[in-house]
Structure 1
């Protein structure tokens, strides 16, 4: 039996929030334990209820999603946050990641794709819509103005397969897509990503990709 996942939904649009609740009702292992209309409402509810993951809208009154993400990660670091927005503006993507979000998915994605993103994040990965991943990569490149000494992958002890996995991570692919691209199992992909994080001394896709960009591996 699949382990139950406790989800929180934060969206100032009640209609969209209810639509998400209805979509997730199709999956028996998903339990919606919190629905908030903005960041202030969310922080009040978190005093009594902590979900495993929060689907966070970006633009909301009183306290927006990026500010709320920063506050949640400071107070409840174990709660994962996945931004779910109609916006794909560069700055919103970048500041969401800096605030501590583990992914950024557009609301136009299918319920199944959003569920995959949720499960991927809870499994230690990071999820982004392909358009968002491209923007995030360009932003990291743009931010990397300092000419730091570059290091080859061998300095970190990265294997050829781990480098291939890192390249696909930089393209915004999830575990399943990477496994299909490299003709290996999703569990093997997870092992490669875990090894990557250990060797690079990072804890997220964004950090791993940043190092890859800084050293011009991707």
Structure 2
């Protein structure tokens, strides 16, 4: 059972998200928060697997809350909510450790799929939206290319192949199919890639690959 925390300062949005998730098999909404500070408090009090986090909230916004959640002893994965024009704050949220993002007008099935994907340790990265997000991230932040290249150089050739596909938004199953590998082997490669690159999730690994200029990214 995936235990959810839903954080949004809009009561109607929060109610709609809770209803959508509560009706999905294998998912339960364990806590609801109206701001980031409350979300962190509830995550400390309850075992939370995935937090669905709005960006703009009173007291503590979703970015600061994401950073605090990811520093917990048993940190939940975080999916941030944003609009399609990609609110500037979403970049900071991803850097804070969010595992992906959803559009606020997403279909219920897409929201449920995102929760399941993130709960499995993957990132919710729609290929087109992910590429736009990462490209815009790099246009609005300062790169540290030498550092990124140094970290990428520690990867094996096979791990670099996996990273290239990961950075393009491919799922573990898609990577396994492309490289003729078992999905369990892909998962092991991804775990080693994250550890080697000193990042916490697939989004940050993809950003590192782009920083380093890995071919294909």
TM-score w.r.t. the length of structure 2 is 0.79
Structure 1 unaligned runs (5+)? none
- Number of the residue aligned with 1:82: 79
- Number of the residue aligned with 2:208: 211
Structure 2 unaligned runs (5+)? none
CA pair 16-158 structure 1, distance change in 2 beyond 3 A: same
RMSD: 2.9
Equivalenced residue count is 213
Q: Would you say 1:92 and 2:80 are equivalent positions? A: no
- Number of the residue aligned with 2:55: 58
Deviations 1:62-83 (A, max 9, x none): 3221122223334455222111
- Give the stretch that moved more between structures: 18-27 or 33-42: 18-27
CA contact (8 A) 1:93 1:132 kept: no
CA pair 140-64 structure 1, distance change in 2 beyond 3 A: closer
- Number of the residue aligned with 1:19: 16
CA pair 63-141 structure 1, distance change in 2 beyond 3 A: closer
Q: Residue 127 of structure 1 aligns to a residue in which SS?
A: coil
CA pair 199-39 structure 1, distance change in 2 beyond 3 A: closer
CA contact (8 A) 2:145 2:212 kept: no
- Number of the residue aligned with 2:39: 42
How far residue 38 of structure 1 moved from its aligned partner, in angstroms, is 1.4
Q: Would you say 1:69 and 2:66 are equivalent positions? A: yes
